[in-house]
Amino acid sequence: MNYEAKIKESETHVFKVVFPNTTNHHNTMFGGKVMEMMDEVAFMTATRFARKSFVTVSCDRIDFKKPIPADTLVELIGKVKYVGNTSVKVNIEIFIEEMYADTREKAVSGDFTLVAIDENKKPARIFEN
């Protein structure tokens, strides 16, 4: 399977409900909780792409465009954006959906860089030549 096919196959979609225990005093989701969910989906996407063990090494420019209110559904979509020798960059987008209406809008996006590691926790090549 070529890179393009692997990238397409590894696209990851996760849906969550925004419950009150994940919101702040404005009744919107905590930014740290949003970043945690994004990191988790980035990890899943990288793992599905390369079937290696990964650790997150950085996140680039997370843009919070819209607040994420309680009692909504969110979809997180992870897509491999770049593949290096030992690292992948995964773009994560979060969309908000009203539970009882046909509305959908992008709320957050950002990029996460993950490095493949071996059994000694040292960087490992993603694909052997």
Backbone angles phi, psi at 110, to 5 degrees: -175, 165
The answer, yes or no, to whether residue 49 has pLDDT greater than 80, is: yes
Average pLDDT, the chain: 96
Domains of the chain: 3-116 (3.10.129.10)
Q: What is this structure's pTM? A: 0.95
* pLDDT tens digit sequence for 60-104: 999 999 999 999 999 999 999 999 999 999 999 999 999 999 999
**30-46 pLDDT per residue, tens:** 999 999 999 999 999 99
The answer to whether 84 touches 123, Cβ cutoff 8 Å, is: no
Q: Which residues are within 8 A (CB) of 24 and not within 5 positions of it... i.e. 6 or more apart?
A: 30
The encoded tokens of residue 99 equal 């539970």
> Which residues sit opposite 118 in a β-bridge?
none
Enter the DSSP assignment of 84: -
Instruction: Name the nearest CA neighbour of 49 among 85, 91, 94, 8.
Output: 8
Distance, in Å, from the CA atom of 107 to the CA atom of 100, rounded to the nearest integer, reads 18
